[in-house]
Structure 1
Amino acid sequence: MNQQSIPLVSSAIGTRRELTVFRFGPAHSDQKVFIQASLHADETPAMLTAVLLKRRLLELEAQHALAAQVVLVPVANPIGLSQYVLGQFVGRFELDSGKNFNRHFLPFDRVIDRAKDALGADPLENRRLVRQLMRDELEFRTPRNEFESLQHELLKLSYDADLVIDLHCSQEAAMHIYTNETGWPEFEPLARYLGSRASMLANDSGGQSFDEAHSLFWHQLQQSLPASKPVSIGTFAVTVECRGQRDVSYEVAQQDADALIDYLIWRRALHGDPKPLPDLPMPATPLAGSEQLVAPVSGILVHRAEVGATVRAGDALFDIVDPLTDATTTIVSRNDGVLYMRRAIRFVTAGAALGRVTGTQPTRTGYLLSA
């Protein structure tokens, strides 16, 4: 294992934060895997999974069982780790700017323009050339502040990875994943090993999140090139939501770390015989089909269904009780699907987001993510 510290742009005199990176396996392998945890810094279950994954990778490296280079960043957001307000952890948004740490990663639009002239007829050589153009673009950019330098350094670590796994969690949730339609065949086995209750697909969710900074780029590149200039996909990327923020235990984290190891063996990034694939708990569905449940009134929120539950259209999911009038408003599902996440709140204002249910038919367009 090789450990590296990467300093971020200092936000103020006398202060400095850094990314800590762990590299396992052969440095010049034909395959590179990048895994990071807790880009939203308050999503602690992902971080514990990364800790246990690191321990296992150390063992496997000592056994010479790594076929790929594995780059692991267990703490992907040292900025957010320091953000406490009146005792409350704020790890999703940077307090200085209000920006979401996992939105609006800088796109590689100029790379696409340059690739149209630089590429030839060999798809593998074209992929190599595109990665060179991506590296040149990253070297050209100069981050202006700490937030930009965090996103910039994470892209520098991952732009040439064949596989990107971004570990997160929701507030209260079942295990679920997000990827694009092209990446689904690559990650369907991961969904099986993880026991994912929901797998949602979108080529472009509108938020330019970390996974899409990779997958959407290669998708757009392929769409923009003529047939005479084919290019192999450089990066398959997935976001894994390790249940909810309070699901922090050795047992659950070990289960998820083991599932990641099983998947890397299946993908031949690690040597060994892959375990038989478990049944897929739920088929993949379009992210545009997921139902976003919103409170129509204010009041006490009472949950009527558990996260991960299979629900049918018309099933009661929440009650909102007005403590002054005793009026109760029941929120029902419009979809047949899985209640894969809900907010951790228990008193809501009108318009507050409550939770989400998967759906098989696209019903939304444009920006498909939460704030």
Structure 2
Amino acid sequence: MIPSISSIDLFKLASGDVLSLQLYKFRGKQPGKKAYIQANLHGAEIVGNAVIQQLIEFLTTLDDSQLQGEIWLVPVCNPLGVNQRSHFFSTGRFNSYDGKNWNRIFWDYEKEAKDLTEFAQTQIDHDPKTIRSNYLAKIKQAWQEELDAINRPSSVPLSRQYRYQLQSLCLDANYVIDIHSSSNQGIDFTFCFKERIISAKYLLLEYGILMNEYDGDAFDEAFLKPWLALEKELASLGKEIKFDIESWTLELGTGMVMNPTSVARGFAGIKNYLAYKKILSIPEPIATTAITLVPRDKIKSYYAPTGGMIQSRLPLKTKVNVGTQIYQLLSFNKQGQIPEIINICAENNGIVFDISANQCVNQGEYVMDILDC
């Protein structure tokens, strides 16, 4: 199966150069559902590009009869962020022009759907497929207003122009997967909406962070939140529906690193998930992993009590108990005294979930996370 490949212009720079996306579309012999997968929304989080490359390589070995529907793949989805540098370090988590987090800028229709109750009341006698079609039409109509604003002489800021290009690719998708990694050093996990817990085990990841509350500005939230709101509204009217629409953020390992283990885990999990959703028909049996789902507020962050150098820090996935020494801080002074070693101990039970890339910290800077599980 050969994909259709197209380029989408994003930004024209003052120099006249144009930054663009490359989109790979795989379409099956029979129409069906749509999966949209992107990587590298944050500039330093590059591991997902290797996952997408492996997906492209794998899909080209299949016959089009083995794909029901379509799969859209966008690697390096933020070329401005991925090219951002400070000395040797790739940054790109925040837009250097306005300081905004690249993954907190997205359009959430639910926030402006003032007539959701009235709309839901008109849909009571319809089947889920018809309701989905009707609601998607409303979303697209509102989205057209975003394009109208872009095309006005006054236009809109860069973040709105950028989000328009990305979100336009997935408004009509059934499944969205946004591949990230830690900006520091982290384990592999997924963010999971409480309303979509059942599917999480098919991603083959050991841990999931359960999102009980969300503001809708992140890519996965902006896609799914309007549909969750409609489900809730219909349920209040006595019509229980769960649309076959899901979104996931996969966090695969460490920033600025193409970790082969994380790449392999991400590729295997996505392939398995697409088979579970009956988009792919492949010989491998569909697998599940016992996933530990932990509420987001159970992540305990540790910050440096004073400035210094981190040493003897526990590695990722180490199990700790209250009182366990998790790292030492070598603290210097300008007061004629010898350097001090400060032992830092855990306040909670759990596992070492994420650790800072830099072991030199000022007072109050991030050192590590422990997941209470």
Same fold (TM over 0.5): yes
- Residue 129 (str. 1) matches residue 138 (str. 2): no
Structure 1 match to 2:308 = 299
Q: Conserved in 2, the CA contact under 8 Å of 1:290 and 1:359?
A: yes
Q: 1:327 to 1:110 in 2, by over 3 A?
A: closer
Q: Which runs of 5+ in 1 are unaligned?
A: 361-371
Change (3 A) 1:28 1:129: farther
Greater Cα shift, 110-119 or 97-106 = 110-119
Give the structure 1 partner of residue 84 of structure 2.
Answer: 83
Q: Is the 8 A contact 1:111 1:130 kept in 2?
A: no
State the SS of the aligned residue for 1:306.
Answer: coil
Whichever of the two has the greater Rg, that structure is 2
Mapping of residues 98-177 of structure 1, within 5 Å: 98-109=99-110, 112-118=113-119, 119-121=122-124, 122=126, 123-141=128-146, 142-143=149-150, 144-170=156-182, 171-177=184-190
What residue in structure 1 maps to residue 153 of structure 2?
A: none
Match of 1:367 in 2: none
Does residue 209 of the first structure (1) align with residue 218 of the second (2)? Answer: yes
User: What do residues 54-109 of structure 1 show as CA deviations (whole Å, max 9, x unaligned)?
Assistant: 1112222x353112311111111011122223343221111111111111312213
- The answer to whether the 8 Å contact 2:309/2:361 transfers is yes
Asked if the contact 1:165–1:237 (Cα under 8 Å) also holds between the matched residues in 2, the reply is yes
Q: Contact 2:189/2:208 (CA < 8 Å) preserved in 1? A: yes
The residue correspondences of 1:331-346 to structure 2 (distance < 5 A) are: 331-346=344-359
Question: Which runs of no fewer than 5 residues in structure 2 stay unpaired?
Answer: 151-155
Matched AA of 1:29 = P
Q: Which whole-Å CA distance do the structure 2 matches of 1:14 and 1:246 have between them?
A: 28
Offset at 1:249?
4.6
Task: Count how many residue pairs are aligned between Structure 1 and Structure 2.
Answer: 354
Amino acid of the structure 2 residue aligned with 1:260: I
DSSP 3-state at the match of 1:29:
strand
1:127 and 1:232 in contact (8 A); partners too: no
Match of 2:251 in 1: 241
Q: 1:68–1:269: 8 Å Cα contact kept in structure 2?
A: yes
Question: Given the superposition, is the C-alpha separation of residues 140 and 44 from structure 1 closer, same or farther in structure 2, using an over 3 Å criterion?
Answer: same
Identify the residue that residue 47 of structure 2 maps to in structure 1: 45
Q: SS of the counterpart of 2:352? A: strand
Counterpart of 1:200 in structure 2 is 209
- Maintained 8 Å contact 1:311/1:336: yes
Aligned-pair CA distance for 1:211: 0.9
Q: 1:115 to 1:11 in 2, by over 3 A?
A: farther
Superposed counterparts of 1:92-103, under 5 Å: 92-103=93-104
Whether the 8 Å contact between 2:202 and 2:269 is mirrored in structure 1 is no
Q: Secondary structure at the match of 1:314?
A: coil
1:155 corresponds to which letter in structure 2?
A: Q
Match of 2:75 in 1: 74
1:22 matched to which residue of 2? 24
TM-score after normalising by structure 1? 0.87
- Identity level (%): 22
Shift of residue 310 of structure 1? 2.3
- 1:17-58 per-residue CA deviation (whole Å, 9 max, x = no partner) reads 112111112397331111110100211111111111111122
| Structure 2 SS opposite 1:166 | strand
Describe the shift of the 1:294–1:125 C-alpha distance in structure 2 as closer, same or farther (beyond 3 A).
same
Change beyond 3 A, Cα 1:68–1:314: farther
Provide closer, same or farther for how the CA distance between residues 246 and 97 of structure 1 changes in structure 2, counting only shifts above 3 A.
Answer: closer
